[in-house]
Amino acid sequence: MRAMILAAGFGERLRPLTEATPKPLLKVGNKPLIQYHIENLAAAGVRELVINTSWLGDQIEDFLGDGSHFGVEIAWSREREPLETGGGICRALPLLGREPFLLINGDVWMDYPLVELVNRVWSENIDAHLVLVPNPAHHLDGDYALKAAQGDIVVGGFGEKQGVSCPKLAYPTEGKQAFTFSGLSVMRPEIFAMYSSVGEKFPLRDVLKSSINTGAVSGELFHGEWWDIGTLERLQALNALLLGNKANTIETGPS
């Protein structure tokens, strides 16, 4: 199985740190955030990685190189401007092959055992699998619900994303508990076939809409450690947790 790490965002909410350092290279526990992903994927047996870059992407490439230092092979998908999640994946499809691939947001930190996803046999009837987490304080509305009769089937979307309503879904969601998308998933490349224009910007939720409506997206609820490194405060809090020192200072780049 191959994996893609999404690393092309600006990290605007993490300014001023991200004015000179791309978000994936911000240190978490004295290690660049993206290094955790690389090491965890390698430990799970994933050796072929695709990473998309844009803002200050040369720094990420300089740090990771071809991946050999970490025991992996990295193919780079470079974007002149960030193409959002869906657009970035679509551009990278030629590098991802035809089999289901792991997808990881570059700005999350979690201790999910990736080997469970790598070793799972994926039904041809499932287009995507989403790892969900309990809603954090900064996202209480959640993103997706799970069908009560089939707890592993994603059935609905909730809330708004950057002022744009989530796509309308066929299944009713009233009364169902919504959970937050962790940024970790498994995708089949063919669900992006409807997007023929490489370079088009669009979110991943637009791609998932049709598959959710037909019951072809599975999901699971993960109760382990999960952090969305979206703000300076959350970055500081995670560093405090990992370093065991609430007074630690935020470092900005790799050694």
Residue-wise pLDDT tens digits, 151-163: 577 666 544 443 3
Residue 232 maps to a domain? yes
Residue 250 maps to a domain? no
Overall residue count recorded for the chain in this entry: 255
Look up the domain containing 42 and give its range. Answer: 3-243
0.95 surpassed by pTM:
no
User: What pairs with residue 228 in β-bridges?
Assistant: 108
pLDDT at 242 > cutoff 90: no
Q: What pLDDT is attached to residue 56?
A: 86
Residue 249 maps to a domain? no
Confidence of residue 175 (pLDDT cuts 50, 70, 90): low
CA distance 44 to 67: 15
pLDDT at 250 > cutoff 70: no
Residue 254 maps to a domain? no
Number of CB atoms found within 10 A of residue 73's CB: 13
Percent of all residues in the chain with a pLDDT value above 70, rounded to a whole number: 81
Query: Which CATH number do you get for residue 63?
Result: 3.90.550.10
What is the count of structural domains for the chain?
Answer: 1
CA distance 55 to 16: 14
Q: Is residue 70 helix, strand or coil?
A: helix
Range 14-42 average pLDDT? 86
Q: Is residue 245 helix, strand or coil?
A: coil
> Residues 102, 206, 132, CA angle at the centre, nearest 5°?
50
Confidence of residue 32 (pLDDT cuts 50, 70, 90): very high
Residue 21 maps to a domain? yes
Residue 223 maps to a domain? yes
Residue 236 maps to a domain? yes
Residue 80 maps to a domain? yes
